[in-house]
Structure 1
Amino acid sequence: MTVVIADEDADAIETTDGGGGLQGVPAEFRPWILKADAACKEPAMTPALLAAQLYHESGFKTSRKEATSYAGAEGPAQFMPGTWATWGRDADGNGETSPWDIGDAVMAQGRMMCSLLKQAAKSGYPGDVRALALAGYNAGWGRVEQFGGVPPESFAKGQTYHYVRNILAAMPRFEGPGLLEVSGSGTGADALRKAATRMGTPYAYGGGGPSGPSVGFCDGNNGYKNGRCAASSTVGFDCSSLMQYAYWPNTKLPRTAAAQYGATSHRPVARDQLKPGDLLFWAHGGNGFIYHVAMYAGDGNVLHAPRTGRHVELAPLSSAMPQGDYVGATRP
């Protein structure tokens, strides 16, 4: 199955400063990706490069069932045991050096990629040094030397060739400016911070849940783009699953926008009293079936997953959805 990482016609996302040039990654990966990037002095290294590589390697999965390859590569950065012995360190200080620990894995990935980028820059081989480094990560630097660059599509059934192309193509989906700055504390502010780590994640109708994004589905009316079912091949969130993810497990919201309104409507919030984390709802004509939910992000903006073909993004409350459809806000 082909997984859509980003849509070419997605609107630009504008956020406040403080993102470190990274967006759309799970909160538990974010500090380690930024740390690994900061530890490397090679100019070609960026957080988005590491994030796109991690996404391609494992989809940010960390369980042994989901992040063990048929060849025996392990963990979110997919290290073979022999390679791990060279690059692995106890980066998170838990007393164990493990490719299954996010900190250990990402920092090892960063060290290896940094070394490969340096090697690529000195090699004189044609092409993007990032492409050369990625090829070395996937196939070994010896193969890069063998072919005098990225191995051709004829090598290994195109595995390395497409590995490089897919990761470089995915990088813009993870490029910042990044996290929305959220002040204050409490359930709502914490939920907004968590949701903000998913900015840039594609919209997938029926996709996502408490544990993160997932492939969606089409129901005859929703999830289609250009006449095809986009949701079934897109890993992402829809509007309500993003809210459910953000508040879980402290507040266990139901799955759909209508159910979330039903579960929280006894705690309404006036428009001039909105606080970060409050839920906002829309229904056609302002009454009837609730079709959309978003989260108040402060300064007159909302954070939401708007529709198929778009991404989790920040938008003005006044234009996020038709103003005449606005129902009201609640505080979970």
Structure 2
Amino acid sequence: MTGQQKALLVGVLLLPFTGFILLLVLVAAVLGATMSAQAGQAAQPGAVSSVAGIPPVLLSAYNNAVAHLPKLRPNCSGMTWSLLAAIGEVESNQAAGSSIAANGDISPAIYGPALDGSGTGGNTTAMYNASDAEKQLAGGSAYARAAGPMQFMPATWISEGQDGNGDGVRSPQNVFDATLTTATYLCGPGTADLGKPEQLRSAILRYNHSQVYVDQVLGWKATYDQMGQNVGNGSPIPADSARGQAVVAAAQREMAQNIPYSWGGGGTAGPSLGFCDGSNGYLNGTCSASHTVGFDCSGLSQYAYGQAGVSIARTAQAQYDGAPTKIPMSAGLAALQPGDLVFFSLNPGSGQGIYHVGIYVGGGQMINAPHTGANVRSEPVWMGSYTGGGRY
């Protein structure tokens, strides 16, 4: 009980009976309002104020969906902003290419490919919108296609759509509506605990029936969980932390697009054709790099840092040499931060003979372009040849 509440109760004891009754009503209102406010604050754990790569209004929509979900799905627990952000990343690159108004409306509208049976997205059977309302949600297309930043099919939206901003309209092209609908759809109509891995995977699989999709979403969720640590209290994000988040986000996008490894490929402008050098760049006896648009390990790290506004050297050895802050091998992975570069050498700990570089994402994991024949991927840091980290 606050000091103000105690003072009100003491005052009650000094009043005549009539005044007592009136003030008792007032005290009850004050206590009720205070407890309601405290309950409202407690209902929004884990909200974050700023995350690199996510537009502020969209991030607000993710937080808003988590806060309002208990009213719509009281038997669902474990929902997080990071899960919604992960789906938003995979579905629309956080509404990339569209502007977001303060009320959540996006412009231009976002649509998926028309499911006309041409094979796009694996669709080989034409799917038609069954009603005028569905056609309108699909931008006038006779063929069904997903709509909005969270990519809802028109028929699904008609049955599941929510009004997330309270304007009386349910639109898949509004981020508050779309994110709240995603949250309720993931929960389903019954009891769910998305804090349990098996139920979380089942919920994501219900959203898109693809194990590859589930893995992509979970990968992004882990990244956003790491990025969101310690930024939910409204305090500014340190410059190096924000930069690291932007680096990781850029690398994640290349991983999500299955960009292949190409020896000598990539740089600040993005993936490019590579070349063959000695034994490097060859696959099954032929020069794969010369006709593969992709990244090698240092090309990926140069690109990711460029996306964060930082210019670094092109080769792994030069990137290590140029890092303003070195994290020695002896400090272990616990000394690393997301976005740090991790380097590998045939003589670990020496800082010389570095042959590979990755981008640390936390939890002992890195994103890297590993070798010819593989795609950009996330995997554990190679401790057998880890030689230390670098921070820009």
TM-score norm. by structure 1 comes to: 0.51
Deviation at 1:297, TM superposition (A): 0.8
1:122-137 superposed matches below 5 A: 130-131=123-124
Q: Is the CA contact (8 Å cut-off) linking 2:327 and 2:336 kept in structure 1?
A: no
1:282 aligns with 2:337: no
- Tell me the distance in 1 between the aligned counterparts of 2:336 and 2:122: 48
Q: Is the CA contact (8 Å cut-off) linking 1:21 and 1:175 kept in structure 2?
A: no
User: For the structure 1 residues 292 and 204, does the alpha-carbon distance in structure 2 shift closer, same or farther, using more than 3 Å as the test?
Assistant: same
User: For the structure 1 residues 133 and 174, does the alpha-carbon distance in structure 2 shift closer, same or farther, using more than 3 Å as the test?
Assistant: farther
The alignment partner of 1:202 has SS state of coil
The alignment partner of 1:241 has SS state of helix
- Tell me the distance in 2 between the aligned counterparts of 1:21 and 1:326: 34
The alignment partner of 1:131 has SS state of coil
- Tell me the distance in 2 between the aligned counterparts of 1:230 and 1:216: 8
Deviation at 1:21, TM superposition (A): 8.7
Deviation at 1:211, TM superposition (A): 1.9
1:37-76 superposed matches below 5 A: none
The alignment partner of 1:204 has SS state of coil
Aligned to 2:173: none
Deviations 1:111-143 (A, max 9, x none): xx3xx42x65xxxx99x9823669xxxxxx9xx
> Is there any run of 5+ residues in structure 2 with no aligned partner, and where?
1-81, 102-106, 128-141, 143-211, 230-240
RMSD: 3.8
Q: Which amino acid aligns with 2:347?
A: G
- Tell me the distance in 2 between the aligned counterparts of 1:214 and 1:239: 13
Q: Which amino acid aligns with 2:94?
A: P
Deviation at 1:310, TM superposition (A): 1.2
Q: Which amino acid aligns with 1:31?
A: Q
Aligned to 1:176: 216
Aligned to 1:206: 264
Aligned to 1:328: 388
Deviation at 1:196, TM superposition (A): 1.2
- Tell me the distance in 2 between the aligned counterparts of 1:244 and 1:217: 18
- Tell me the distance in 2 between the aligned counterparts of 1:174 and 1:215: 30
The alignment partner of 1:302 has SS state of strand
Q: Is the CA contact (8 Å cut-off) linking 2:263 and 2:296 kept in structure 1?
A: yes
Deviation at 1:250, TM superposition (A): 2.2
Aligned to 2:297: 239
The alignment partner of 1:197 has SS state of helix
Deviations 1:255-287 (A, max 9, x none): 010110110165335323111111111111324
Bigger RCO of structures 1 and 2 (CA < 8 A, at least 6 apart): 1
Q: Which amino acid aligns with 1:250?
A: G
Aligned to 2:275: 217
Q: Is the CA contact (8 Å cut-off) linking 1:22 and 1:175 kept in structure 2?
A: no
User: For the structure 1 residues 197 and 174, does the alpha-carbon distance in structure 2 shift closer, same or farther, using more than 3 Å as the test?
Assistant: farther
1:19 aligns with 2:48: no
Q: Is the CA contact (8 Å cut-off) linking 2:361 and 2:367 kept in structure 1?
A: yes
- Tell me the distance in 1 between the aligned counterparts of 2:337 and 2:380: 15
Aligned to 2:207: none
1:31 to 89, 94, 99: 94
- Tell me the distance in 1 between the aligned counterparts of 2:339 and 2:94: 22
Q: Which amino acid aligns with 1:313?
A: R
- Tell me the distance in 1 between the aligned counterparts of 2:341 and 2:122: 45
1:296 aligns with 2:360: yes
> Is there any run of 5+ residues in structure 1 with no aligned partner, and where?
1-15, 34-61, 63-90, 95-102, 135-140, 142-171
User: For the structure 1 residues 299 and 232, does the alpha-carbon distance in structure 2 shift closer, same or farther, using more than 3 Å as the test?
Assistant: same
- Tell me the distance in 2 between the aligned counterparts of 1:223 and 1:174: 32
Aligned to 2:243: 187
